[in-house]
Every structure is written in structure tokens, then in C-alpha cells.
Structure 1
Amino acid sequence: MTALTVVLATVVSLAPSLLPREPSVQGALTGVTIVLALIARRLVLILRRHLTGRTPRPGSRELRLPVAVVGASAVLVAAATAHHRQNRLREAMSVPALDGRYWLDSLTVAVVVVGVSLALPRLARVLGRRRDAATAVAVVLGIGVATVSASSGEAVDTVSSPTTLSAGLSGGSGSAVAWKDLGREGQRFVSLPSEGSPIRIYVPLAAAPDPSARAGLAVDELRRAGAFRRAHLVVTVPTGSGWVDAAAVRGFEAQWGEDVALVAQQYSDRPSWATFVLDRRAAANEARTLVAALRAHLSTLPEQQRPALHVYGQSLGASGASAVFDGTDPEPCALFLAGPPAGVRTTHATVLANVSDPVVWWRPSLLWSPPELSHARADAPSPPWIPVVTFVHTTVDLLTSLAAAPGHGHRYGEDQARCTPAPG
């Protein structure tokens, strides 16, 4: 039974994914899946013994060889299928194809994860300390997540010297937010290369104690920078980490040039996937508060002098952006959504979503029902939905969604800022 458990876990770990995987990610997933399967099997045996009072007898020795042959064959078939599937994804995303080294590296990582995880309880007994099952599971998951996270990509934007910043940028001359207080994501946002005189206001999480105070600061910064004299004002709702996609910034500024100002207000500084899973409501609350403050200020201006208000969001930011229009339909080109999380639906919005984007797939109901992808563009082959298994693989893909090639996964281009409203 142990061999069958390992085989089944390995086959599950090789099921189709949305994105190409690094060998460290595949190996960590395989290793963690095997360990968790062995833990589950052990718990089932303990429960069975407790209920029946009998200890299961070991399997027949005569069956060991046939079981080993069948198991090895199943793993080889699963690996060959995974190899083919990965290369189809890589071809669609212009990524180099796999070679034999990939599977050797994956196997090495899997063996290390399994070996370390199984050695921990024995080490604990040697040291005279005891660990319960929950702690063992936490350690296993920690090893896997740490390995996967170490392989995940982050968007890298150039951060220039604060001495180059103009008065139209937070952290620049006259700004109420100092350069050092903007944080990494704020510094990236305001210092992106641009032609002309950009206006980009960024209010970091630590700038004020609550959303209302941060929104008030944002309005003051926009007024100081002269943003309300421009024809277009774009609220860019950040992702969970506070990141604003440089491609979207370039897209809006290419579309409207000197007639646009952008403002972003941070609501979290945790990794995007962690905020996405643990605290989705923060984005909606922050976006509503900022837009309400902006609308209140715009109402004090002569109607012919009010800039057009647009709201943009990517990932969890898309969830926050769409919440601004709860119960109402936005005007054409008033709402831009890129990579919206599953379940986010707003009519008359400009929506850009990749079928290979795990954010577009992931929701708890993915455990028992297939995703709804009618709004997504087919940028790569879409894997078949498998109950439970697809949910697990999509969750892993969330951790590496920004490591995809441009135009795939959770990486979108300047076209996310184009005004192409969907029919209502």
C-alpha cells in the first residue's frame, strides 16, 4: 500500500498545470504531495485500528513485483504526458523546451523534500521532543512553499534616484510623502521612465492610519500636483503587495499623454497571493474610500473642468476596482480590469484576462466545479479540469504567476489600458 500511495501522489503531482514550471517547483510539489499522502495513509490506518481493534497485515510478497512494475509504468506514463504538456505550454509562450536535465533536477528536489520531511519526526524523538501531526504537516508545507516561492518571479521596475523626480510625483519636490516613505512599490511606480511631465501620486500604507486618512492625503497630493486640471484621472488600484503594473502605467500615459494623472493607494504590503487568499476585502474598502473622496472633490469643481474619472485594477486590484461600481454599471472606459479574480464580473468594463492566468481560475469552488472562462483569451492550451487536483495545481501556479512570459499567466501588456469596453 505504501508503494501505491507514493505512485498515486506522484501521478497527481504531474497533472496538467496552467503555466510552465521550473524543476524546483515541480520537485517541491511532488515531494510535498508524497509526504502528505503518506501522512494521510498513516492517519487512516490509525483510525482503522482504533475502530476495529485490528492491525492491518502486510501485503503479499508475491504481489510486490507486479505492483512495482505497474506503479513504475504509471509514473513513466504520467511523466511522459507531463513532458508533452509542458512543451506545448512552452511553445505557446515562446519558452525553451524541456530536456532530460529538467526531470533529473525535479527528482532530486522531490527526494530531498521527502527525505527531510520523513527525517524530522525521528530527529524529534532523538532529541527527546514530540511533534504532533499538525506540526509535521506545517513543516512539510513550509518546505514546499519556501521552495516554490524562491522560484517565483517578481516584476522588476527600475527605481531611479529621488533627485530626478519632478513636482508631479509623490516623493518629489513639495510632496507630503517623502521618497523614503513610499516603500519599494511606491518608488517603482513614481520613477518609471516617461516622456513629458507625468503626474503619479502614490499613498503608501504607512502614510496614514486608515483608508479615509490615506484618501484625504491622496486628494491633497493630486491637488498640489495639478492633477485636477488634466482631462483624465486614473485610479490605479494596486495588487495585494502594493504593486502597480508598469505596462498599465505606460499604456495610460501613451493613450492620453499630458492629459492624464494617475493615483494609487496601498492597502496591503504582504505578498499579493497572501493578500489574495487571506484578505480580499481590503482592496474593495480602500478603492471605494479613495473614489468616494475623489468624487466628493470633483463635485466642487465646475462641471466643464472636471477630469474624466477612470478606475483600473489588476489581480486583487481588479476586485477592488470593480467594487467601486457595485450596484451600478460604469460608463464606457470608466473601468479597466486586468487578470480579474474568478467571480469578478462587471458589465461595460474593459476586461483583459489570459486563460493561462491562475488568478482568473482560482476560487474555492474550483475544488468541485470547472472554471468559467468565457471572458478569457486563449493565449495557451487550457488544461482539463480535474476535481480537487486542478485546485491544487492552480494554487501552486498562483505563487509563480508573475514568472510567466510577457502576455501570459498574470503578466499583461500595455493593451490592458486600451479603451475596449465589453458589450453589456
Structure 2
Amino acid sequence: MHRQVVSSPPSWPAALRARIPSPRRPLSDSPVVLPVLPPPRRRIVRTRLSLAGAGLAAVFYCLSFTPSLLPRAWFLQGVVAGITAAMGYATGAAAGALVRRVRGPFGAGTTRIAWLLLAAALPVLVAIFLWLGTRWQRDLRIRLGMPPVPEYDVARTVGVSLLTFGTLLLIARLLRLATYGCALLFRRVFPVTAAYCAGTLVVAVLAYGAFDGLLIANLFATADRLAAVENSGTGNGVTVPASTLRSGGPRSLVPWDTLGRQGRAFVAGAPTGEQLTEFAGRPAVEPIRVYAGLTSADTLEKRAELVVREMDRTGAFDRSVVAVFTPTGTGWVDNKVTRSLEYMYAGDTALVSMQYSYLPSFFAFMGDRSEVADAADALIGAVRERWSRLPAATRPRLLLFGESLGTYGMEMTFGTPERLVDGADGALLLGPTFANPTHRVLTAGREPGSPVWDPDYPGLAVEFADDAAELRDLTGPRPKVVYLQNATDPVVWWSWDLLWKKPEWLVGKRAQDVTPDMHWYPGITFWQITCDLVFSNKVPTGHGHSYKSETVDGWAAIAPPPGWTTQDSLRLRALLG
């Protein structure tokens, strides 16, 4: 008989060590049964950072300060930096875990040296990129004609970024802890690998359900309630029109209280006859404005029919111009856009529009884009049908207008570039979205060598411009469709493939407004452009998603009144501001 030495780990409790036979005592022939111990407790939430994750997070954090299309406020930059650092940490931690699984863990000495190098380099890198980021933002604001921001915003930016990163890291580790807990339960039935797979699946499904069912659903519900309250109000200075030529006024078929907030602003926002006469230098007429709100009729088709009957009541088809406006999500139409056309024609116009939602464009776009498509099809179709029955020699010019989400509805109404060109006497589209099918077709089929931000499309009466001033020097036949798309408009240039693909507008020659310091980085540029969307309207006209008086040049390119000159366009742009 021989002796067997059984050592007990010092981490085992004393009571368990006492149950193991001492090597000094003779062992019996009966086998020794060692107790089955529970797996050691794992620290997940309070575990130290991954070395690979921390290193890549530092790289992503620094790159988040590189410029994008528009300047960012300090708190927005902080959120961008925190999110991109979290993306870097997740990527690095996953890559590090994969490497350790393939080749095994690195030695303690190597890991310690790597941490020391990272700790020494990180403050220097962050300081350099904070300084560069401040300079880039200052230069970008100057490029766009905006005032510089105080330098002390850097400290607040860092604070917001650390808070954002810490919050995302905590959420990720809590989810990981939940996965580990589920796996311990499933280990009683399944093998270890299957138990962890099942735990991961359960937590992923529950997390997605909580995100979609609680956060997203409540976000849309809250936005819906707030938008409904907003829609029932009336803007400051907006009053019931006294004119019979406005919806909601005397003898109108559309009651004032059914127009919605934006509809009331639309019908009440026309310039006065005195203002029109002073600009035109000749007697002007009172412009017509027709609008139908969400509660003006039960269905889209009935609202469109109501608009046409209101046009007949006001004598809209006797004017020189009839313009159909597809509004944004809330039913809003930029008053500078409508006024520009009325000033050009000295009031001899009839402008019509119809509300299809009271949600902001972002929620309308992400929720159900079919609403704007159906509304544009119903209104444009009803007006065109009535207009087409008039004698061709005497009927008014039919113009179409869409901005942002409204351009998507217009394009979906016609379906192809050729039908859009033939659909009216002129169409003006501002800031088309990435989802616009006709815009994508035209851009993809552009003349070789022309840039994506200002494409040439041969053989069709379509003109693109990233600067409205370009439209003043057109030669050849007059275009029937004009796209105005600012080179720094994130609504135009945002797309999902920014996550993994360098966009064409950053390849080769760039538009004048796009800073040469901007570069594409996987994932990072996507979040930067996404955050640019938040304040895309808070920039001067001609940049971002702010078009306003630029529409003067757009209207002048497709449908100028007799005798209209470039000087008239400059005068009108100065008047509108």
C-alpha cells in the first residue's frame, strides 16, 4: 500500500480542509471522496478594465474630437466622445478576449508594462486632441459664419464624456452579470457552453424587449402626446384671417380650429398687399393660401378633396401660379419659402398644403414614412387632376415644393425621375433625405467626374446645387426640377453605411463648406453625423439643414416671373434675411 498526498488550496474554508486526510496519517484502502465545491465567485460589475478595451477606447475617444459637417455644442461633443469611447472599449475588449482564447493570457510583467505605457500616454493624447478639437471647432464655426465658443467648455465636455462612458459601461456589465446569473441556473440542466449561450439569448431578448417596449415605445408615446398638445395651440401673433382668400377665414370650408398650429401659421403668414406692392413697384394682389389640418376631414382623400373645393371657392386656379407644398412632419412649411414666391409674383399666387401628422419629422420618418407618401400622393393627385381639366393655354403654372421629409413624399408620388420632371411645370426640393429613391437614382447615374454633392445629370431637366448662388448662372434650357442640398446638411448625407463605408462626399474634391480636416473613421463618423442632425437647423442660411431665403434662387431657376433679374433675387433675399 502506498501513500497519496492530497493538498488543499489555502482558499478552501477550514472546515473543508479538516475533512481531507492528513498526509502524516496512514490512509485506508477506501477511496477518498473530495467534496464538490461551488464555482468561485466572479467579480463582473467591479472588475478592472480590459487592457485592450481601454487602449482602443482611448483611440476612439481622441478621434471623436475630429470635426464633422457641423460644429458641436460642448455637451453634444461630450456625448459623442462618451459613446465612441464605449464603442472602442467594446471592440477592444472583445478582440482581447478572442486573442487570449487563441494564444492564452499574456504574462503579468507584460500586462503591467502595457498598463504603465497606456497610463503615461493617455493624458498626453487626450490633451493634444482636446486642443486640436477646440481649434477644429473654432475653424468650423468661422467657416460657417458662427461665433466662437468659450474655451472653458472643454472641461465640461470631458465631464459629460466620462459620465456617458461610465453609464454605458455600467449598463453593459449589469447585462453581463445578468447573463452570468442565468447561466448558473441553466448549468443545472445544460452543459456549461449551452448554459452560457442560453443565458446570453435570454438576456438579449429581455434587454431588447425592455429597450423597444419601454424606452422606444414610451419615447414615441410621449412625443405623440406632446405633439398633440402643441398642435392644438396657436403661435404668438397668429390670428384668424379676415380675408375670404384664406382657409379658416370668412366663408371658408375649413374651420379655423381644425387647421392645427402649423396650418394656422401657414394661412396667417402671407405678406400684406402694401408689402408686396412696395417690393414689386407695381400694384399687387392679395395672395391665396389654402390648408387642411388633420381634423379638417376624416381621411387623406377627403382632406385633399376639401383643399380642391377650397381652391375653387377662392379662385385659386385663376392665379398665375398654383404651388402645392408637401410639409414636414408637424405640417410646417417655412414661411420664407412661401413668402419668396408671393413676393416674386406680387401676390398673384395660390399656395396650398395639407397636414398628415403632428409628429416632428424625425419621429414621422422613423415611425411610418408611408404617411407622407400617401398624403403627397392624395394632395398632388387631386390638385393635378383639377388643374389638368383647365385649358392648357390659360391654366396657371403648377409648382411643387418639398423640404426634408416632404421631398420623400413628392418622390414617392411620381416614382421615377422622368415622371417627376413631367409631373408639373416645376418642382423645388430642399434637403432630400437619404431614403429618397429618385434622388438616389439621379445621384448614381450622374455624369462621370461630377461630384456626388453637386452632380450633373445629362439628358433630363434636373439641376442640383449645393450653393443656391450657382443657380443664377445657368445656361441652356431652364430646369424643371431643382434640388438644393447644402454640402453640410446631415439630413442629406446621413446613412447607415457610414458605419462601415467611407462616403463619396469625402472622396476626391470636396465641397467648399466641408472642412479638409474631416476624415472618415468606422463607427465614429456615423455617430458624429447622427449628432449633427440634432442641431442641423441651428446654423446660418446656406449651411446645414437651413435653406430659407435660398429658395428665392430656386424659384427663379425653374419659374421666374416675366422680367425677373438676378438683382431682383438679391433684393428679395436681403428682404427675407
TM bucket (normalised to shorter chain) is 0.7 to 0.9
Structure 1 pair 69–99 and aligned structure 2 pair: CA distance change class (3 A): farther
Q: 1:382-419 CA deviation, whole Å, 9 max, x = no partner?
A: 63344443222212111221112222110113231422
In the TM superposition, what is the alpha-carbon distance from 1:234 to its structure 2 partner?
0.6
Structure 1 match to 2:334: 245
Structure 2 match to 1:370: 503
Structure 2 match to 1:408: 543
Distance 1:283 1:296 in 2: 19
Distance 1:203 1:56 in 2: 70
Aligned: 1:20 with 2:71: yes
In the TM superposition, what is the alpha-carbon distance from 1:294 to its structure 2 partner?
0.9
Which residue of 329, 345, 361 corresponds with 1:272? 361
- Note if contact 1:238-1:266 (Cα within 8 Å) is conserved in structure 2: yes
Q: Residue 337 of structure 2 aligns to which amino acid in structure 1?
A: A
- Note if contact 2:537-2:544 (Cα within 8 Å) is conserved in structure 1: yes
Aligned: 1:235 with 2:324: yes
Aligned: 1:319 with 2:408: yes
Structure 1 match to 2:302: 213
Structure 2 match to 1:167: 244
Structure 1 pair 38–304 and aligned structure 2 pair: CA distance change class (3 A): same
Structure 1 pair 31–403 and aligned structure 2 pair: CA distance change class (3 A): same
- Note if contact 1:354-1:377 (Cα within 8 Å) is conserved in structure 2: no
In the TM superposition, what is the alpha-carbon distance from 1:165 to its structure 2 partner?
4.7
Which residue of 419, 423, 437 corresponds with 1:328? 419
Structure 1 pair 297–193 and aligned structure 2 pair: CA distance change class (3 A): closer
Structure 2 match to 1:339: 431
In the TM superposition, what is the alpha-carbon distance from 1:421 to its structure 2 partner?
4.4
Structure 1 match to 2:491: 359
User: Which has the greater radius of gyration?
Assistant: 2
Gaps of 5+ in 1: 150-156
Quick check: 24-33 or 343-352, which moved more?
Answer: 343-352
In the TM superposition, what is the alpha-carbon distance from 1:286 to its structure 2 partner?
2.1
Q: 1:293-351 CA deviation, whole Å, 9 max, x = no partner?
A: 11211233333442211001111212223444433252696111112224614823122
- Note if contact 1:162-1:172 (Cα within 8 Å) is conserved in structure 2: no
In the TM superposition, what is the alpha-carbon distance from 1:123 to its structure 2 partner?
8.9
Describe the SS at the equivalent of 2:351: strand
- Note if contact 1:354-1:378 (Cα within 8 Å) is conserved in structure 2: no
Structure 2 match to 1:282: 371
Q: Residue 240 of structure 1 aligns to which amino acid in structure 2?
A: G
In the TM superposition, what is the alpha-carbon distance from 1:46 to its structure 2 partner?
7.3
Gaps of 5+ in 2: 1-50, 183-201, 224-233, 274-285, 443-460, 463-478, 560-577
Distance 1:5 1:380 in 2: 28
Structure 1 pair 135–26 and aligned structure 2 pair: CA distance change class (3 A): farther
Structure 1 pair 43–210 and aligned structure 2 pair: CA distance change class (3 A): farther
Describe the SS at the equivalent of 2:350: strand
- Note if contact 1:215-1:293 (Cα within 8 Å) is conserved in structure 2: yes
Which residue of 374, 381, 392 corresponds with 2:527? 392
Describe the SS at the equivalent of 2:433: coil
Structure 1 match to 2:135: 84
Aligned: 1:181 with 2:243: no
Q: Residue 532 of structure 2 aligns to which amino acid in structure 1?
A: D
Distance 1:200 1:377 in 2: 37
Structure 2 match to 1:350: 482
Distance 1:38 1:386 in 2: 15
Distance 1:99 1:304 in 2: 61
Structure 2 match to 1:69: 120
In the TM superposition, what is the alpha-carbon distance from 1:9 to its structure 2 partner?
3.0
Q: Report the RMSD for the aligned CA atoms in angstroms.
A: 3.8
Distance 2:427 2:252 in 1: 28
Describe the SS at the equivalent of 1:19: coil
Q: 1:17-43 CA deviation, whole Å, 9 max, x = no partner?
A: 111111111112222333444455566
- Note if contact 2:325-2:400 (Cα within 8 Å) is conserved in structure 1: yes
Distance 1:204 1:187 in 2: 9
- Note if contact 2:86-2:168 (Cα within 8 Å) is conserved in structure 1: yes
Identity of aligned residues (%): 32
Q: 1:36-67 CA deviation, whole Å, 9 max, x = no partner?
A: 44455566677888x77978887722222211
Structure 2 match to 1:153: none
Q: Residue 359 of structure 1 aligns to which amino acid in structure 2?
A: V
Structure 1 pair 26–165 and aligned structure 2 pair: CA distance change class (3 A): farther
- Note if contact 2:337-2:551 (Cα within 8 Å) is conserved in structure 1: yes
Distance 1:28 1:112 in 2: 9
Q: Residue 133 of structure 2 aligns to which amino acid in structure 1?
A: A
Describe the SS at the equivalent of 2:345: helix
Which residue of 287, 308, 313 corresponds with 1:224? 313
Q: 1:141-198 CA deviation, whole Å, 9 max, x = no partner?
A: 98xx99xx9xxxxxxx964343345322222223333333322222222222512233
Distance 1:41 1:419 in 2: 54
Distance 1:135 1:290 in 2: 39
Higher relative contact order (CA 8 A, sep 6+): 1
In the TM superposition, what is the alpha-carbon distance from 1:83 to its structure 2 partner?
2.0
Structure 1 match to 2:155: 104
Q: Residue 261 of structure 2 aligns to which amino acid in structure 1?
A: R
Structure 1 pair 79–208 and aligned structure 2 pair: CA distance change class (3 A): farther
- Note if contact 1:203-1:214 (Cα within 8 Å) is conserved in structure 2: yes
- Note if contact 1:234-1:309 (Cα within 8 Å) is conserved in structure 2: yes
After the TM superposition, which residues 23-42 of structure 1 pair with which residues of structure 2 at under 5 Å, given as runs? 23-39=74-90
Describe the SS at the equivalent of 1:420: helix
Quick check: 317-326 or 214-223, which moved more?
Answer: 317-326
Distance 1:194 1:409 in 2: 27
In the TM superposition, what is the alpha-carbon distance from 1:355 to its structure 2 partner?
0.6
Distance 1:61 1:313 in 2: 60
Structure 1 match to 2:380: 291
Describe the SS at the equivalent of 2:291: strand
Which residue of 46, 49, 55 corresponds with 1:4? 55
- Note if contact 1:158-1:192 (Cα within 8 Å) is conserved in structure 2: no
Structure 1 pair 235–117 and aligned structure 2 pair: CA distance change class (3 A): same
- Note if contact 1:158-1:191 (Cα within 8 Å) is conserved in structure 2: no
Distance 1:256 1:169 in 2: 18
Structure 2 match to 1:191: 268
Distance 2:550 2:347 in 1: 19
- Note if contact 2:542-2:550 (Cα within 8 Å) is conserved in structure 1: no
How many residue pairs get aligned? The number is 407
Describe the SS at the equivalent of 1:5: helix
In the TM superposition, what is the alpha-carbon distance from 1:101 to its structure 2 partner?
1.6
